Amino acid sequence: MLETFKIEGELLNLRETIDSDIDNYERWNISDLKAWEFDGPWYDEDLSAVIESRKRWLTGERKPPYRFLEIETKNYIHIGWVNVYHDTCDPHMTEIGIDIADDYYWGKGIGKEVLTLWIDYLFKEREFARIGFGTWSGNKGMIRLGEKLGFQMEGRIRKGCKVKGIFYDRIKMGILRSEWEDRFNK
């Protein structure tokens, strides 16, 4: 068996995509998955592009630094993923995302551990000066998670998205490398 890259935490691990993850993505590719109520619910998208991207990655060259990793429990249950992407052309700042697809795992501190592991990895492997994320005012859990990790509210676009006929604000949060290092004594 091919050894996969893994970042180990107390509650879970972040690891490379493996073949069996595709089945989970296909299972999660349903419109009524609770996670989609919070992750950009104004988009009319599904996981088809993610599934194809993961399949291409599995058959191509695998090497760090990674743009996405899978979240698994210590019992090897695949429960979601993290990713990194550039929202601007500036290579010194980036955006991150997290999806814990199975709501059974919500509210257990997993998101905080996942993002701590992911942000540590990104700041160590890349020369980012800033890491941020975008969400919306209806996703209170993500906003609280950002605050717990030391992210600052950097922007609010009033009535920036419409969900189920109601306008919500788009939220931008970010943390600087120096703030992260000071906070976690890195």
Q: How far is residue 161's CA from residue 58's CA, in Å, rounded to a whole number? A: 35
Structural element, H or E, at residue 118: helix 110-125
Residue 65 burial by CB count (10 A; 0-12/13-18/19+): exposed, middle or buried?
A: exposed
- How many Cα atoms are found within 13 Å in the side-chain-facing hemisphere of 121? 24
Dihedral of the alpha carbons of 24, 2, 52, 146, in degrees to the nearest 10 = 60
This model's pTM is above 0.85? yes
Domain ranges of the chain: 6-184
Query: For the segment 27-78, what is each residue's pLDDT rounded down to a tens digit?
Result: 898 767 777 777 776 666 677 888 888 888 888 876 666 889 999 999 999 9
Bond into 65 cis (ω within 30): yes
Q: What is the DSSP letter of 114?
A: H
The CATH code belonging to domain 6-184 is 3.40.630.30
Beta partners for 175?
Answer: 131
Q: What is the pLDDT of residue 1?
A: 44
- Number of C-beta neighbours around residue 163 at 10 A: 16
By three-state DSSP, how is residue 137 classified? coil
**CA end-to-end distance (rounded Å), the chain:** 34
The token pair at 33 is: 């998955």
For the chain, list residues with pLDDT below 50.
Answer: 1
